[in-house]
Amino acid sequence: MSYQTTITKKGQITIPKYFRGILKLKPYSRVILELDDKKVKISPAPDILALAGKFKPQKRQSALKLRKIFEKKYERI
């Protein structure tokens, strides 16, 4: 299936509602554009918030202790 869209003078295009529905794109969603043999592929960009809760720290440390460790390893310029 194909749809026609227009490029504005700012270089912007509108993704037709049919494609936004299939790709589950909402307002302000980010997309990845790939160019493959003069064809453009559009896919949803991964959302960093989708990673929330997937990784757990090995052990909790206080912010003051972490700051001291950080300052030992990295010197200010």
Q: Give the confidence band of 66 by pLDDT, cuts at 50, 70, 90.
A: confident
* Mean confidence (pLDDT) of the chain: 87
Task: Catalogue the E-assigned strands of 1-77.
Answer: 31-36, 39-44
Is 2's pLDDT higher than 90? no
The per-residue pLDDT for range 30-51, each reduced to its tens digit, is 999 999 998 889 999 988 877 7
Residue 77's pLDDT is 63
Torsion angle (degrees, nearest 10) of CA 68, 71, 72, 74: 150
pTM for this prediction: 0.55
